[in-house]
Chain A
Amino acid sequence: MDLWPNILQLLSSGITIGAVYAMVALGFVTISRASQIINFAQGEFVMLGGVTTFFLLKSVNIPYPLAILMAISIVVIIGFLLYILVIYPLRKASVLILIMATLGVSIFLSSTSGLIFGTLPKALPPFSGAKPFQVWGVSVVPQNLWVLGTTFILLIILYLLSHRTLLGKAMEASSTDPLGADLLGISRNLMTFLAFGVSAGVGAIAGILITPIFFTSYNAGPLLGLKGFIGAVLGGWGKNSGAILGGFTLGIIESLSTAFIPSGYKDGVAFAILLVILYFRPKGILGSPFMDSRRW
C-alpha cells in the first residue's frame, strides 16, 4: 500500500473531525471553568444547531445565512433556559446532582427534537460548493476549511474572552475560588448563566458547520458529546487550549489508526490511547487546573 499519500489524506480527515471534537470540548470547558459542572447536554447543542438550521432553511424557507444566525440564537436561548430552569433551581445541590440533571436535559432535548423535527437524519447544503480540490495529492472539500477556520476563530475569541476581559476572569474566578469571587462582588449565578449561553453558542456553531459533511439527527448528540468530553479530558480538563489540543489529538488518532489496523477497532484505539495518556499524565496533556492527581 502506498502509505504516504494515504497518511496525508487520513490526517486531513482526522483534522476535520478533530476540529468538531475540539469545539464540543470547548463547550464543556467553558461551563466547567465557570461552575465546575460537566454539562452532558453539550452534544445536544451541537445536534440542535444542525437540526434547527435545517428546519429554518427547509421548512420555514429562510435564507441560509439568516437561518444560521437564527439557529445559533435559538440554541443560545435554549442554553440560557437550561440554566434558568434546571441548574439555577438546583444550585444548592451538589455538583454530582447537577451533572445528573444535565444528563436528563440531554435526553429531554434529543427526544423533543425527534418529536418536533422528525427522527430521520438531515443534511445541510455546503457553505461554498461541494467540489473537492487537491492539495499535495490530498482531496479536500471547501466545508473542511470552513470547519477549521471557524474553530481557529472561536479559539481566539474564547482565549480573548477568558484572558483579556474582566468578564472572562470573573467567570474563571467564580469557579476556581467561589468565596473570593463572592467577596469581590462577582455574581456567580450570572457567570454560570453566561457560560451556558456561550457554550450553547459554540455547540450550535459546531453543529451547523459539520451538518453539511457528517449529517445530523436527533440522536447524534450523545456520541459527539462523549467524544468532545474525552477530548477535553485528554487535553487537560478546564483549559481551552487543552480542549483544542485534546479534540484534534483524538480526531487524528482515530483517523490515523485505521491506516494500521482494521477500521472496526478505531473507537477502541481512541479509548486505549486515552487510557495510556492519562496513565502517564493523569491531568491530561497540558495539565488541568481542576484535577488533583495525588488524591489517593
Chain B
Amino acid sequence: MPLRNIFIIAILTLVFFTWASPAHVAEKSLYKIGVNLEFTGPWAEVTKTLKNAMVMEAEGINAMGGIDGHPLELIFEDNGFDLGRAATNMTKFTRNKEILAIVGPFEDNLQATTRAIAEREEITNIIICPSNPMVRALKQKWAFNIAQSDIIVSEKLVDLCLARNYNKVLVFHGAWPLAQSLAENFRRFGEAKGAKVIISKETHKPTDIDMTPQLIKLKPIIKREKIDAFYACTAGPPGPIVCKNLRTLGIKIPILGTHAFGFGFIIALGGEAMEGVEFAGAKPVVFDQLDENDPVRPINIDFDKRLRDRYGVGIDQLAGYGHDTVGLIYDTLKRCTGEVTRASFRDSLENTKGLKSCHGIYNYRPTDHDGLSKKDMVLVRIEGGKFKRIKFPGFE
C-alpha cells in the first residue's frame, strides 16, 4: 500500500475516533453561569469553601455527561466584598449573552445592588445569603435566595424557647437590617405564642470588639425582668464576643444564637463561653446526627465523604450552600424545555418543587423566592466544643 493511502487511512481513523469519543458529546453548547463572590476581603476563607464545593459539583455533573449533553461552566469573578466591584461583575456577566444566570453575592450588604441589576437586566440572580427584609418587600421577579430566611429562623427559635420553657427573652441585636429583622420576627412569633420578648435598645455594630458597655446596661434588665434566656441576635465575630463578655460579667443565663452560629470558627473564637449556646441551625451543621429517615441525610453524608476525599475537609453550612446552588442550577436546566434562555431558566427555577439537597427541600413559588422552610432547620447546642443536635418531642 502506498504511503499516501496509509496516511489517509490514519487521518480518517483519527477523525472517526475524535468524533465518536465522549469529548464530542461536550461539543453541545455550554451552559454558562456567572459566579460573583467575595473571594478576597474578610470573607475570603469562607467563600473558598463555597467555591470548592461548587467546582466539585459542577465537575461531577460534567463527568456524568452534563445536562442532557450540555456541559456546565461556572465563571468565577471576585467582588472583593466591594459594592462597586459586585455591580461591575453583574454588569459584565449580563453583557455576556451566553450567561444564563448569576450566583452570588454571599454577604447581605451586597445583595440589594445585585438584585436591582438582575431586575433591570432580566437575569436570574441566585443569592447565597438570606433574603433581606428591605428587598423582600419589593416583590422582585429575578432574585432567588438559598439560605434560611430570617422568618423561618425566628419561627424555629421560638419553638426552641417553647420547648425549653423560656417565657421571657431579651434580644440584643446587631444594627444592620437582617439582624433587626431577625429580632422583630422573633418578637412577633414569640408574642403570638405567649412569650414575652424584650428587644434591647442597645445594639452593636459588626466592627465592635467589646460589647461590655452595652451588656452592663442590660444586666439590670435581666435581673429586674427575670429574663429566662438571652438572644444574641447577630452574626460573625460579634456572636462569640457577646458570649464571652456576658460570661465575664458573671451573667449566667442561657444564650440563644442565630443560624450564623453554625460555623466552626465561632466556637474556636468563643472557646468555653460558647458552651451551652443553643440556636436553630442548618442541617449540614449536624449532618451526621440527622434522623435516619431524613431524606437529606444521605445527600449530606455522601457530599461530606466526597469533600473529604478531595479537599481533606468535611461538609459545613457553606459547603452545603455551594452544593445546593449547583444542584438547583442542574435541576432547573434539566427541567427547561427547548432552547434555554434567561427567561426560561428563571421560570424553571421558580417552578422548583421538592428538590432534596444538603440544606433541605427547596420549593420556590412566584410569591416565595426563599426556597427553604422551617422543616429544614434543626435545633443545635454547642457542647464540648462541638455542635450537637437537640430534640424535643413535639417540636422536632
Contacts and interface: CB of A to CB of B under 8 A. Distances in A.
Interface in A156-172: none
Interface string A212-232: 011101111001000000000
Contacts of A220: 209
A255 B213 contact: yes
Question: Interface size for chain A: under 10, 10 to 19, 20 to 34, or 35 or more residues?
Answer: 35 or more
Interface stretch (A64-72, A112-120, A190-198, A275-283): A112-120
Contacts of B40: 114
B220 A1 contact: yes
Given A119-B42, A120-B265, A262-B203, A2 B216 contact: no
A139 B46 contact: no
B220 A263 contact: no
A17 B210 contact: yes
Interface centre among B44, B240, B248 (most CB of A within 10 A): B248
A132 B248 CA distance: 6
6 contacts: A120-B45, A121-B236, A121-B265, A258-B202, A258-B214, A263-B217
Nearest to B268: A123
A2 B205 CA distance: 26
A150 interface: no
Interface stretch (A5-13, A36-44, A73-81): A5-13
B97 to A, nearest CB: 35
A259 B217 contact: yes
Contact of B216 (A9, A120, A134): A9
B370 to A, nearest CB: 27
B44 A215 contact: no
Contacts of B216: 6, 9-10, 13, 258-259
Contact of A262 (B42, B46, B202, B250): B202
Contact of A123 (B203, B219, B271): B271
A130 B272 CA distance: 9
A214 B210 contact: yes
B21 interface: no
Contact of A1 (B212, B217, B248): B217
A207 B106 CA distance: 30
A141 B248 CA distance: 7
Report the 5 A-B pairs with minimum CB-CB distance, sorted nearest first: A258-B213, A13-B212, A214-B209, A119-B44, A263-B214
Given A121-B265, A132-B250, A263 B202 contact: yes
B64 interface: no
B201 interface: yes
A7 to B, nearest CB: 9
Contact of A219 (B42, B201, B269, B272): B42
B237 interface: yes
A89 interface: no
Question: Interface size for chain B: under 10, 10 to 19, 20 to 34, or 35 or more residues?
Answer: 35 or more
A8 B203 CA distance: 21
B173 to A, nearest CB: 12
Contacts of B236: 121
Interface centre among B205, B210, B213, B236 (most CB of A within 10 A): B213
B42 A118 contact: no
Interface in A74-111: none
B207 interface: yes
B35 to A, nearest CB: 19
A258 B236 CA distance: 23
A119 B237 CA distance: 12
B246 to A, nearest CB: 10
Interface string B225-258: 0000000000011001100100111100000000
Interface string A258-270: 1100111010000
Contact of B45 (A13, A118, A213, A264): A118
Interface string B34-52: 0000001111111000000
A275 B345 CA distance: 57
A180 interface: no
A13 B217 contact: no
Interface in B25-69: 40-46
Interface in B179-235: 201-205, 207, 209-210, 212-214, 216-217, 219-220
A125 interface: yes
A16 B40 CA distance: 32
A119 B81 CA distance: 12
Given A118-B44, A119-B45, 4 more contacts: A132-B248, A217-B42, A223-B207, A258-B202
Interface in A1-56: 1-2, 6, 9-10, 13-14, 16-17
A16 B270 CA distance: 19
B215 to A, nearest CB: 9
A263 B241 contact: no
A254 B220 CA distance: 21
B12 interface: no
A14 B216 CA distance: 12
Contacts of B175: 264
B272 A263 contact: no
A288 B336 CA distance: 73
A205 B200 CA distance: 36
Contact of A2 (B42, B220, B248, B268): B220
Contacts of A10: 212-213, 216
A255 B207 CA distance: 15
A119 B41 contact: yes
